[in-house]
Amino acid sequence: MQENRIIHLLDEIKPIVARYHDEAFKQGKEFNIFLVQGIASDEVKVCRFIRELLDPKGSHGQGIFFLHRFMKTVLKTDEFTDEEYRHASVIQEETINQARRIDLVIHIKSRLFPIEVKIYADDQANQCRDYYLYASRIDPQAKIFYLTLDGHEPSDISISKSDTAQVKLDCISFADEILVWLGECINAPEMDKIQPVKEILGQFENVIRKLTGMQKGNMMNDITDVIESSSENIMAAIQITHALPDIKARFMQKIFDLIKSHMAEFGITESKDYYVKECEDYYKTSRITLPHINYNIPVSDKALEGKIVLSFEIHQRLYFGIRPIEAKAEEAAKYIREHLTPPSILTHENDANYYWWAYLHKCNNANFKQENIDYLNLFDNVNFEEYMKGIYSSIDMIVNLIRSQKHNKS
């Protein structure tokens, strides 16, 4: 009975979604520069965009317009004069030592307003604590503003329980404060005179709504009307909501299972599977997980046996790479560079984990976190098979490289 309710609800909602998506596509509303350029979930680029808006001398040409509203709406302070705002500076990645950079810092007079932005990245050890110690030495009134999608607190890794009482910190979110700020800016009468800026702000707002699940509009209203129309529909909607994380996790696990099977066809079976539980956590917790499989790579240098692995991993997209098991393993890195780096591959010698990595599918940009159109299309069998063909092609390339280096002397 419940299954029939769910099927009936989906049958009602599918044409609504299709109609609005078709209309949006024809009107160019699906074109979003932040999504096209992969800016939406890149913390560095998001911070760069916000910094430019907040800068009184920014290329937007609106002086303190954005900064003043940001300070009042997001940081909840309005203690400065217009003249003081005009002399403010906004620094991206302000360096506090060789290994630490604060994402954004607003300087007004002798005051500091440090903002740590977390979209999908993990906390680092003592990160917020170190930022606070730095800021409070310069400005005793300083506090850390911890900006996330949903306003959650930093982990114990960033601020240990023993340090919590000493560190002044406010949690703010894209879903709340940032969306309110963007709405105030977009709807201000001044924006009507600068349509190019208003259009870009609108695209940024749409991206933030997508990332935070705060979409609005006629489509959502129509879907809401259908769900609210009966107790059967609301019960079916609740069941669908509960099932979605498991559906997405199983789909991700299926991809890893197929990668594992393809590797086995080459006789490569020595692996460590980290993906089953991590796929579940990927969609069920706010904690960052990186579902992955590691394969020990056979090498011609006996001293390096068991010290180099081939990894298949998902952060937002699916990628693969070769890395030493131990960080800063110079001999392993040298061996990877000389024997296990495909031609024309982009190396990442400064990456903490990988000497090199690359996306497994060169043409498909399926994003498992943002759930973009490329990702959604994978649920159609034909598209999924094409996607896996591209993945198998990349696997074949790297396996052939691994096999060839066994015949070379290091």
- Please spell the DSSP secondary structure of 6-43, one letter per residue: HHHHHHHHHHHHHHHHHHHHHTTTT--HHHHTT-TT-H
Q: Is the pLDDT of residue 93 over 60?
A: yes
Q: Is the pLDDT of residue 37 over 80?
A: no
Helix (H, G, I), strand (E, B) or coil at 105: strand
72 Cβ partners below 8 Å, 6+ apart? 78
What would the mean pLDDT of 316-341 be, rounded to a whole number?
79
Helix (H, G, I), strand (E, B) or coil at 260: helix
Task: Give me the helix-helix angle, 231-265 and 275-284, nearest 10°.
Answer: 150
Residue tagged 């730095």 (tokens): 134
Radius of gyration of the chain (CA): 24
Q: Is the pLDDT of residue 162 over 80?
A: no
Of 9-18, 38-47, 325-334, which range is least confident? 325-334
Q: Is the pLDDT of residue 107 over 70?
A: yes
What would the mean pLDDT of 208-233 be, rounded to a whole number?
85
Q: Are 123 and 158 in contact (CB under 8 A)?
A: yes
What would the mean pLDDT of 350-360 be, rounded to a whole number?
68
Q: Is the pLDDT of residue 349 over 80?
A: no
Q: Are 144 and 128 in contact (CB under 8 A)?
A: yes
Q: Are 136 and 142 in contact (CB under 8 A)?
A: yes
- Give residue 351's region: left, alpha or beta (phi > 0; psi -120 to 50): beta
The CA distance from 1 to 245, in Å, is 22
Cα-based distances in Å from 1 to 6, 182, 227, 239: 9, 45, 17, 13
Dihedral, CA of residue 249, residue 250, residue 252 and residue 258, to nearest 10: 160
pLDDT recorded at residue 410: 41
Q: Is the pLDDT of residue 261 over 90?
A: yes
Q: Which of 365, 368, 395, 354 is nearest to 254 (CA)?
A: 368
pLDDT bracket for residue 407 (50, 70, 90): very low
pLDDT recorded at residue 403: 79
Tens digits of per-residue pLDDT, 125-135?
Answer: 888 989 999 99
3 state SS for 47-102: HHHHHHHHCCCCCCCCCCHHHHHHHHHCCCCCCCCHHHHHCCEEEEEEEEECCEEE
The CA distance from 223 to 216, in Å, is 11
Other CB atoms within 10 Å distance of the CB of residue 20: 17
Q: Are 32 and 24 in contact (CB under 8 A)?
A: no
Residue 191 is classified by DSSP as G
The CA distance from 331 to 337, in Å, is 10
What would the mean pLDDT of 50-72 be, rounded to a whole number?
96
Residue tagged 């020990």 (tokens): 296
Helix (H, G, I), strand (E, B) or coil at 117: strand
- For the range 317-320, what are the long-range contacts, defined as Cβ-Cβ under 8 Å and sequence gap of 24 or more? 317/359, 317/365, 317/366, 317/367, 317/368, 318/255, 318/359, 318/360, 318/361, 318/366, 318/368, 318/391, 319/357, 319/358, 319/359, 319/360, 320/357, 320/358, 320/360, 320/394, 320/395, 320/398
pLDDT bracket for residue 324 (50, 70, 90): confident
Q: What's the gap between Cα 67 and its chain centre?
A: 25
pLDDT bracket for residue 356 (50, 70, 90): confident
Q: What's the gap between Cα 50 and its chain centre?
A: 16
The CA distance from 308 to 48, in Å, is 36
Q: What is the mean pLDDT of the chain?
A: 86
pLDDT recorded at residue 350: 46
Name the more confident of 174 and 18. Answer: 174
Name the more confident of 26 and 112. Answer: 112
> Phi and psi for 62 in degrees, rounded to 5?
-105, 15
Name the more confident of 155 and 382. Answer: 382
> Phi and psi for 198 in degrees, rounded to 5?
-60, -40
What would the mean pLDDT of 181-201 be, rounded to a whole number?
94
Name the more confident of 317 and 349. Answer: 317
Name the more confident of 217 and 118. Answer: 118
Residue 392's H or E segment, with its range, is helix 381-405
pLDDT recorded at residue 346: 56
pLDDT recorded at residue 409: 44
